[in-house]
Amino acid sequence: MVSEMPSREYVQSARRDNLCVCQPRYAIYYTTFANHPLTVAAENWFGRSAFEQRGKNAAERPDAVIGEPRRYGFHATLKAPFRLAAGTSIEDLETDLDAFASTTRPCPIGRLRIGVLAGFFVPAQKILGVATFASRIVETFDCFRAPFDASELCRRDIGGLDEAETEQLVRWGYPYVFESFRFHMTLTNRIAEHQRPSLEAELRNHFGTIVDEDYAIDALTLFEQQNPEADFFVRRRFTLNPGVRF
């Protein structure tokens, strides 16, 4: 799944243009349903709900700790944020998501574990079946994704990406797809090593045994961001079909 485009050079040259994009972005995420204990715990952690179009509550934790994941809302990425491609519409995307969900079984995840991934605290799990499921989402819905423009590329930090990940960023809109994918639900910004022990204890106390549930991707959740400065909110949830045979 490698692009022939010289992607690192492409990203760097695009940064010199830095155009403005004000179109909505959409993302296909996994999240537990609105009133699930994991959702509620995450909302209390962030001080906002992605399921409700209202202002943030006063957060106990500073933006330096939770600013970025709070803006995106609690989720696991299946198809990273994208603008709609020319000739497509949000109604078309929702129709295809509906059709996909009706013919697709839930995907088992299992228990989650709070740990550190690339400096970020996450509940995570590494299961081959989840990676395969996520790869289907990436490929199936890529026809709806507009290619990155200069302003989007210039906001991406490619310094920590290897060549394959940089190529995947340009080709698929996200560096961590296919073999690079790992299921995770981000809870913090990147945290300095000396700050991690106390924060890990706080997270384990906050989420307790909620992460021990036998989780499954039982729905695809379509998130929407109205403009680059806005928070992401849930637009619609598409329940998968447990009656579909293997």
pLDDT in tens, 161-194: 888 888 888 889 898 999 999 999 999 999 999 9
Q: What is the pLDDT of residue 58?
A: 54
- Structural domain includes residue 83: yes
Q: What is the pLDDT of residue 120?
A: 87
CB atoms within 10 A of CB 203: 21
Report the Cα 11 to chain-centroid distance in Å.
21
- Structural domain includes residue 39: yes
- Domain of 181 in residue numbering reads as 7-239
d(CA 216, CA 197): 29
CB atoms within 10 A of CB 91: 8
Count of the separate structural domains present in the chain:
1
Separation of first and last alpha carbons in the chain: 26
Q: Which residues of the chain are modeled with pLDDT < 70?
A: 1-21, 54-59, 157-159
d(CA 246, CA 236): 26
The residue whose two tokens read 């989650």 is: 112
CATH number (domain holding residue 210): 3.90.1140.10
- Structural domain includes residue 134: yes
| pTM of the full structure | 0.87
- Structural domain includes residue 20: yes
Q: What is the pLDDT of residue 10?
A: 47
Q: What is the pLDDT of residue 56?
A: 54
